[in-house]
Amino acid sequence: MRLWVMSDLHIELTRGWDLPSGDARPQFDVMIVAGDLMPRAERGVKWLLERVPDRHVIYVMGNHEAYGEDIDRTLEKAKEIAAGTNVHVLENESVRIGDVTFAGCTLWTDFALFGDERREMAIAAERMNDFRKIRTARYAERFRPAHALARHRRSRTFLEAEFRKDRPGPVVIVTHHACRRPELRLSDPPAPDELLSAAYYSDLTNLMVPAPDDGRGALRPADLWIHGHTHSSFDAVIGGAPDAVLGGTGTRVLSNPKGYGPWPPREPSWENQDFNEKLIIEI
């Protein structure tokens, strides 16, 4: 199965670029859009339906989909528009296409990357637009780091249950937030900007190591885990197990975000120079 993989298209901050069409479009079976397509997920679904009417699309919301919106309401509206179409909006849900299981969620983060959840949540509350521009509780409240953490925990529980289910073929996870440790060297003492990485990454690599049945089923890690949010490309195999009995070969973790731009004349190209608008991954 050929997957056309991308994220962080940020159409709201893009001029003069569109999804490749016609002959410029690669051959693919399923398109994967790992969040930050544009604010309001229902508009994202419409944008995808106009451009990709004849192939399955897996779409998860990024943080930007909820800007200016209630985070649950925009998801509901997106699902209403996507119902019965080829676009699958996943939030703690999975869909099977052929023998491949696709499981998706926004994910958010555990703020635990540097071991001081409260400090990292306070820094994120102060510095991130997410905690100014998103509403929750039917617009009644401002979305806060504690809401993000609660959502992360629900998604983590969902993902672990997926890894322990019987399945006929490969599993592809699609999240917006990153599931791994970043390659970072912290200053001493760490600067608040560096600690902000805890709002981008959670170390979920223990879900990439096979584990025996503890009564909930054996844990078989994902074959491929696609994420976005960081605006830099990544492709590496993480986890696995040397134990041939468990048979773990690890999870290929991959990110292909465009980021902001182009926005000529000031930004003639897109933000992530490694973005490949025709990236195909075979599963």
**Interface residues toward Fe ion, by CB under 5 A:** 8, 36, 62-63, 229
How many Å apart are CA 67 and CA 90, to the nearest integer? 18
Q: CB nearer to Fe ion: give 101 or 255.
A: 255
Nearest approach in angstroms of CB 143 to Fe ion is 14
List all residues 6 or more positions away from 163 whose beta carbon is below 8 Å from its beta carbon. Answer: 171, 207, 219, 220, 221, 222
How many Å apart are CA 121 and CA 69, to the nearest integer? 21
Nearest approach in angstroms of CB 259 to Fe ion is 6
Nearest approach in angstroms of CB 251 to Fe ion is 21
Give whole-number Cα distances, 178 to 2, 7, 100, 200, 231, in Å: 23, 12, 22, 6, 11
Q: CB nearer to Fe ion: give 31 or 219.
A: 31
How many Å apart are CA 261 and CA 12, to the nearest integer? 9
* 3-state secondary structure at position 251: strand
Q: CB nearer to Fe ion: give 36 or 42.
A: 36
Sign of the CA dihedral with 274 first, then 48, 158, and 250 last: negative
Q: CB nearer to Fe ion: give 14 or 101.
A: 14
Nearest approach in angstroms of CB 93 to Fe ion is 20
How many Å apart are CA 249 and CA 242, to the nearest integer? 8
Q: Say if CB 219 and CB 210 are below 8 A apart.
A: yes
Nearest approach in angstroms of CB 214 to Fe ion is 34
Q: CB nearer to Fe ion: give 4 or 200.
A: 200
Q: What is the DSSP letter of 143?
A: -
